[in-house]
Amino acid sequence: MNVKNLLLLSILLVIVPACNREGQTENPTPSPTLEVVVDTAVPATEATNLPTNTAVASTPTTPPATATTAPTNTPEAAATNDNAVVLLTEDGEEVQFIPPPPDGIQVLLANVEAGRYTLPEAVIAALQRYSGEEPTLDLFGEQPARGLDGWRLSSLAANAYASASPEEQVEMERLYNKIIPSPELLEAISAPAAPDSSGRDTHIAKARAQTDCLRLWREGFPEGEHPLCLLYIEFTESGHTYRVYYPEARRTDETFLPYAQAATDALRDSVRVYGEWSELRDINLIFTLLTPPEEEEHGTGAFVPVLTAAEIRTAPCPILVLPLGLDGPADEGFKQLIAHEVFHCVQYWRQENTTDASTDWYIEGMAEYFSGVVYPNANNEHQYLGGFNFFTASESILDLQYSAWVFFQYLGDRFGKEFVVNMLDVLPTSGGKTAQAAALAGIGDMPAVFHEFGRAFLDRQLHDENGTPLPMPPYYLPPSRFVLNPGSHQLQAIPFQLARYQLTYREAKEYAIELETSAGAGRLAARPASSAGTWGDLPLEIRISCDDVVYVGLVTNTDATSDYAATAQTEWVDLGEVLCDPCLVGTWMQDTAVIEENFRTLAAGANVVAVRGQFFLVIDENSMTFTPQGYGVQIENDGEVVDMAMEGSSTSTYIIPAEGQILATQGAFDFTATFTGPAGTFSTVLGPEAMSMIPSPLSFGPTDPLDPGSVPAPGELGGGETSTATELIFGYECTENTLTTFPPPGLSPITSSTYVRVSGSAP
């Protein structure tokens, strides 16, 4: 028996019980290469329009938002119930979701645009708040805001400096240098924390009792006033120096010292992990003495300030840890905060300039992802799952910040962490959101990769770094859940949006849908809402019998400059009264003995060594899903054993045209067959084209060795004309415990196939 015949027999065996004749699936997308052509003729700036997070602390610095379901699905930050919106769960249940208010930077920029103050004035007032000074103007008034993100503020300062007056530039420099001490100043006001041989600190001889370091820091350490204010812990790795500076006044503070040690450990761990994929340089981590105003309750726990290209090349990368970063325990959550900031240093070293706001999605999203790589069980990143879930329903991932880590997690799991790091060499540092979309779309086969990411998200198949599933049931916007009544329905997506829809086919209707799609890099797929993983085309011609059928539709778009739309022109015919059989509903299993008997019937004359596995058939009121579990066969071929394993699933909808008959149609078909034999191991993917492999009448060619070259292309199996049917009528008998199907005459030598009930009960 040759490999083509072995494959044919297994195709027949899996389609007979599933009664599935048509569908569509995509082959797995190969690993992309980091090659991209970016159109640089794009606007210089494009502002994002989504609320974004400003707090990156060991524990969320804002209370999590609440929802009536999925309590782990917290948004990027919290707000008041007055801002609650209604979302829908997978089951159609309404959920009150509280999106975050705009962060302080967004409010600041909106006020600048409204003419309430200039950008330099706003930056100066914000820097004054950061340094503990009284601001010269009220930035927010009564407007709700979530604090001021340190990195974005320093980015604004860099951008505002050019348009500032000479006096404003001097004030910006004063404040900036006060907040972020230079390496020279750090050297002048610090000493090693390690004790000498006598057990006493080496710096003990320095006078410190009368020194008011906080006052001096707030004054910017006037010239000549450089007392001992900081101690540092130092280590070297691969020729580079890493220091953790902390207040000398807290050298014996048992409530603080665990943070200094945890920061040192986190620095070591991050350097060790990130060094596998990128070159590292010196880092100074500084526990600052400056305290933002008390009302800054939702501010930044730590940040890496914006540096000039020259500073990035020559000076240690500075990480500032603010008092807010010490609100939680000195545990792995705090360490993950530090690991996040260390990755920002990696981004600086790879890119040198990231002050454009359009880079926020990958600057923060990638740093959050890699911090979870260093500490896979801390799960700080989970606080942003709700934001990802909510915003991606209507917005682009390019509008996100921290919550974009979910996308990078998927890429890292699929293509490797080095691949994600190397994206820093491709993604632009300026040019606005259009440039970001163009660069991302040019990485490998991104249209397929992004679409498959969306499928995994909707199927709840995304996993955390520690291998556990992400606790994130997808939410839907109410306008994206509708009944396919006669008329026109539009499904659309902006660039890099995971647009999802819940589409209801009405019972006792026969549908005829014409689908019109716009040009571009958009994709549309659908699956029954109850059958995760069974993606195919949106059914265009389908009969619905007993109850309404809900499909999940996914629309993705990787075109950098245009939206994508699919318009469904829908018509139906009312079928009137239809037959229903509640006995069919449930989960059915076919055991190995029955599978083996059927296979031996199909493979009469072949030397079947062994058959293994089980078949499962899940049936609801309108559809059925067939899944082999552990299925495989072994056949002796010219003295050598050939093994074939098959996995995957198929789905179909059905109606009951007459008592004891099922008409099955419009299914997805997605199986992978893996062969192991003398030539090694290789696989072939079976999509809907496998239906064309069925010869009529059945005929088999001569034997040939198992070889990768003998894996058939669609239509190559057997001889005679191939079947092109899109529907299949077969008989059945259903009892309380068994379901027996009877394939149509001529399709197969198998006369019947029996399942036993696993769950669900006959009426």
What is the Cα–Cα distance from 174 to 168, expressed in whole angstroms?
Answer: 10
pLDDT score at 88: 87
Write out the DSSP string of 670-709.
EEEEEEEETTEEEEEEE-GGGGGG-EES----------GG
Q: Give the pLDDT of residue 595.
A: 92
Q: What is the DSSP letter of 195?
A: B
**711 has a pLDDT exceeding 70:** no
Q: How confident is the model at residue 702 (pLDDT cuts 50, 70, 90)?
A: very low
pLDDT, tens digit, for every residue of 103-140? 788 888 889 999 999 999 999 998 988 887 888 888 88
Q: What whole-number distance in Å separates Cα of residue 216 and Cα of residue 475?
A: 51
At 691, is the pLDDT very low, low, confident or very high (cuts 50, 70, 90)? very low
- 74 compared with 582, residue with greater pLDDT: 582
Write out pLDDT tens, residues 239-249.
Answer: 999 999 999 99
Per cent of the chain over pLDDT 90 is: 47
* pLDDT computed for residue 762 by the predictor: 58
pLDDT greater than 80 at residue 580 = yes
Q: Looking at 174-188, 288-302, 333-347, 519-533, which range is the least confident one?
A: 288-302
Q: What is the pLDDT of residue 666?
A: 58
Residue 604: pLDDT band with limits 50, 70, 90: confident
Q: Which band of pLDDT confidence, cut at 50, 70 and 90, is reported for residue 404? A: very high
Among 517-521, 615-619, 692-696, where is mean pLDDT lowest?
Answer: 692-696
Q: What is the pLDDT of residues 337-352, one digit of tens each?
A: 999 999 999 999 999 8
Q: What pLDDT score does 406 carry?
A: 98
Predicted local distance difference test score (pLDDT) of residue 260: 95
User: How would residue 231 be classed by pLDDT, with cut points 50, 70 and 90?
Assistant: very high
Cα(66)–Cα(68) distance, integer angstroms: 7
Residue 585 has pLDDT above 60, yes or no: yes
Write out the H or E segment, with its range, that includes residue 553: strand 549-557
pLDDT tens per residue, range 51-104 = 233 333 333 333 333 333 333 333 333 334 567 888 888 877 888 887 777 778
The full DSSP string for 474-516 is --B-GGGEEE--SEEEEEEE-TTB-EEEEEEEPTTEEEEEEEE
What is the band of 355 on the pLDDT scale with cuts at 50, 70, 90?
confident
- Please state, in angstroms and rounded to a whole number, the distance separating the CA atoms of residues 720 and 701: 12
Whether a cis peptide bond, with omega within 30° of 0, leads into 183 is no
84-to-66, 87, 143, 395, 403 alpha-carbon distances in Å = 10, 10, 17, 18, 20
Question: At 554, which helix (H) or strand (E)?
Answer: strand 549-557
Indicate whether this model's pTM tops 0.85: no
Which region among 249-263, 285-299, 658-672 has the lowest average model confidence (pLDDT)? 285-299
Model pLDDT, residue 437? 97
| 536-558 mean pLDDT | 91
Range name among 58-72, 274-288, 471-485 with the lowest pLDDT average: 58-72
Which of the pair, 85 or 554, is modelled with greater confidence? 554
Mean residue pLDDT of the chain comes to 80
pLDDT at position 5:
54
- Tokens read off for 437: 């979309």
pLDDT at residue 385 in the model? 93
Give the pLDDT mean for 415-442.
95
